Structure 1
Amino acid sequence: DAARAEADRKAVEEALRLEEEERLAVDRAIARETERQAAEESARAARAPAVKAVTAKTPEEIVVMVADDSKVVRVKTGRLLGAHRYQVVMAEDGLDAARQIESALPDVLVTDVDMPGMSGLQLTRQLRGSATTAPLPIIMVTSDSEQLREEAKAAGVDVLLGKPYPEEQLIAHIQRLVNGEARP
């Protein structure tokens, strides 16, 4: 009888051990599935387009980056935008713009095409290649608008403005792009 009781006790212990192992395996499987679902949701959220604000932003709330290697153009464009109450950030070329955008994303970028180091087209391609910066509206200003039209469109430029352009046209494009209205 003692041997039988010992065998029964060992059988119960083994059954409890197996039950505990099974419970741990189920817990691990649930944790893996939860992690997988969270990763899927995170990836889905990263791919989803940014949700636009329901109310339109006023110029005072809009940060415009001006990237141009010409100081004269930067100052002139900055004054125009400042007169319309936009917040203006300046970049001396495409590389400077890319560095600044990494740390503080503006609401819209106004860029020249031909700049040393990194052209406006290269900058646009780089920005469109990142999930964080891809939605950034980009207005490109050039004197060769017809020659660049297809290349700019392929790079992801939203608006290509030929020099010289009416100042009101730039302001209208900024407001429309930032407030989520249809891009031309």
Structure 2
Amino acid sequence: MAVEAAIERETARQAAEEAKRLELAAAAAALAPTVRTAEQTVVMVADDSKVVRIKTGRLLAAHRFQVVMAEDGADAARQIEASLPDVLVTDVDMPGLTGLQLARQVRGDPRTAALPIIIVTSDSEQLQDEAAAAGVNVVLGKPYPEALLIEHVQQLAHVSAAS
């Protein structure tokens, strides 16, 4: 009887370990970034300059990203509230809600806190610390190499290289 009880205990222990292993694997899979294609990736461009919005939007669209435009920080905040993009590319200097204020607002909301943010500015050297404190992922100085913006968007959105 003692042997049977020991076998039952060992079987139960192994079953519990297997259940725990499966639970941990499921949790890890849920946390792992989902690899997607550019076509599945929505990039919001927030800039008060129509020329910059159009130029950046065309660049992103040429790389097959879905692009949504926001005319300024407040417009971006409203749109993000309604529909969360996969990446936010924003200017710093905008009337009303600046890019840094927008970044702080995004980071302060649990629903949007993980949204990757790329900020574009002509004052990249002076802005690094403030942008990092606001939760910005990448600071690009103007002018920036177009390939660099695309590379950052792909990395932050977990876009597969084959897309």
Please give the range of the TM-score, normalised by the shorter of the 2 chains: 0.7 to 0.9
Deviations 1:107-151 (A, max 9, x none): 000000000010000000000001000000000000000011100
TM-score (norm 2): 0.77
Segments of 4+ in structure 1 off by > 6 A?
A: none
- Tell me which residue corresponds to 2:6: none
The answer as to 2:100 corresponding to 1:121 is: yes
Q: Pick from 62, 67, 73: which aligns with 2:41?
A: 62
Q: CA RMSD of the aligned region, Å?
A: 2.0
The separation in 1 between residues aligned to 2:153 and 2:71, in whole angstroms, is 20
The separation in 2 between residues aligned to 1:150 and 1:144, in whole angstroms, is 12
The separation in 1 between residues aligned to 2:152 and 2:117, in whole angstroms, is 10
Gaps of 5+ in 1: 1-47
TM-aligned CA deviation for residue 55 of structure 1: 4.7
Q: Pick from 128, 131, 136: which aligns with 1:152?
A: 131
The answer as to 2:114 corresponding to 1:135 is: yes
- Tell me which residue corresponds to 2:66: 87
| Structure ID, larger Rg | 1
Deviations 1:66-110 (A, max 9, x none): 000000000000000010010000000000000000000000000
TM-aligned CA deviation for residue 52 of structure 1: 5.0
SS of equivalent to 1:148:
helix
TM-aligned CA deviation for residue 179 of structure 1: 1.1
Amino acid at match of 1:179: H
Amino acid at match of 2:63: H
Aligned pairs for 1:163-174 within 5 A: 163-174=142-153
Kept after mapping to 2: 8 A contact 1:109/1:139: yes
Aligned pairs for 1:33-72 within 5 A: 51=30, 55-72=34-51
The answer as to 2:82 corresponding to 1:109 is: no
Amino acid at match of 1:161: L
Kept after mapping to 2: 8 A contact 1:139/1:158: yes
Gaps of 5+ in 2: 1-26
TM-score (norm 1): 0.69
The separation in 2 between residues aligned to 1:54 and 1:122, in whole angstroms, is 27
Identity across matched positions, percent:
73
